[in-house]
Amino acid sequence: MTTSNLYEQIQQFYDASSGLWERVWGEHMHHGYYGERGDRRLDRRQAQIDLIEELLAWTGVQLSKDLNGQVSTILDVGCGIGGSSLYLAQKFNASATGITLSPVQAARATERAREAGIPPSSGPEGGSMTPDTRAEFRVANALELPFADNSFDLVWTLESGEHMPDKKKFLQECYRVLAPGGALMMATWCHRPVAPPAAPLSDRERHQLMEIYKVYCLPYVISLPEYETIAREIGFQGIQVADWSEAVAPFWDFVIDSAFDPSALLGLLFSGWQTIQGALALGLMRDGYKQGLIRYGLLCGTKS
């Protein structure tokens, strides 16, 4: 598959499915956090908010502070309909910019910001910005970010790295737009480690991954240790990594349950074949977690 075809598939998938997801699940298009061992039973939206808060705590980003000082500019790479972007903008009283390949998502995120009374941002270009709560959403390619060097205090990317056809270029772009002292927080789908003493992926595992790639418009995923190596090569400092697979895995059981809600079933019928395929393949992700093949990897680091 060419890169342009991949981007087109990603756009079409999220153009078609985002409205249904919002009606059934709400504004946050990512996993929930169900406790360190995945044994807490929570309201679906609360679990997703808990994931954001747990990620902030894990990276060391506290209210109005990152690893070096004030958070005033935030980039959300793969922003969906603005769930994390607006949450972070309000939490830090900051300016948040979200990017997505989906015009439908960018338009809905802009609409949601307006509904929340959050004015549009002029973006990080054009001089320093006051840390007022603002938000802007653009259709943009994460491998060619349309922002100047050293633009953002926090680059936040929640479950979008798996869509990137060039993982190194992706992290290089995140590093480029970070301001000195700024922090990257990335959570992404991975496969299990494969470096010795771990075994290489088996043919069965490769086949299972290929099925997931096909349904969810992924070029490929890599292991968390591979991400860590790339981040070190690029120059990130203070790198932390963690595997939160156990904490988030129950999410897929809840998504499968919600797919049988009558309103969700009706919505699926009108959302197109690609969305229906995604719903039919939910068990692939659930089983991938249970087998230890799919991992939920976290990486954070700073720019010196």
163-196 confidence digits (pLDDT tens) = 999 999 999 999 999 999 999 999 999 999 999 9
This prediction's pTM: 0.91
Banded model confidence at residue 10, pLDDT cuts 50, 70, 90: very high
Dihedral through CA 29, CA 158, CA 46, CA 240, nearest 10? 160
User: Would residue 185 be called left, alpha or beta, if left means φ above 0 and alpha means ψ between -120 and 50 degrees?
Assistant: beta
Residue 131, pLDDT > 70, answer no
pLDDT at 129: 45
Other beta carbons less than 10 A from residue 263's beta carbon: 11
AA identity, residue 119: P
CA angle 159–165–167, rounded 5-degree value:
70
Q: Which residues sit opposite 135 in a β-bridge? A: 96, 120
Burial of 5 (0-12, 13-18, 19+ CB in 10 A): exposed
Query: What percent of the chain lies above the pLDDT cut of 70?
Result: 87
Rounded average pLDDT over 12-17 = 90
Other beta carbons less than 10 A from residue 194's beta carbon: 14
* Nearest of 47, 40, 87 to residue 63 by alpha carbon: 87
Cβ atoms of residues 303 and 175 within 8 Å = yes
Q: Which residues sit opposite 100 in a β-bridge? A: 139
The token pair that represents 146 in the structure block: 């349309």
> Mean pLDDT, the chain, as a whole number?
88
User: Would residue 55 be called left, alpha or beta, if left means φ above 0 and alpha means ψ between -120 and 50 degrees?
Assistant: alpha
Banded model confidence at residue 276, pLDDT cuts 50, 70, 90: low
pLDDT at 230: 98
| Distance separating alpha carbons of residues 200 and 105, to the nearest angstrom | 37
Per-residue pLDDT tens for 91-100? 999 999 999 9
* Nearest of 188, 185, 175, 170 to residue 224 by alpha carbon: 188
CA angle 59–63–68, rounded 5-degree value:
60
| Distance separating alpha carbons of residues 47 and 40, to the nearest angstrom | 9
| Distance separating alpha carbons of residues 252 and 159, to the nearest angstrom | 14
CA angle 248–66–231, rounded 5-degree value:
65
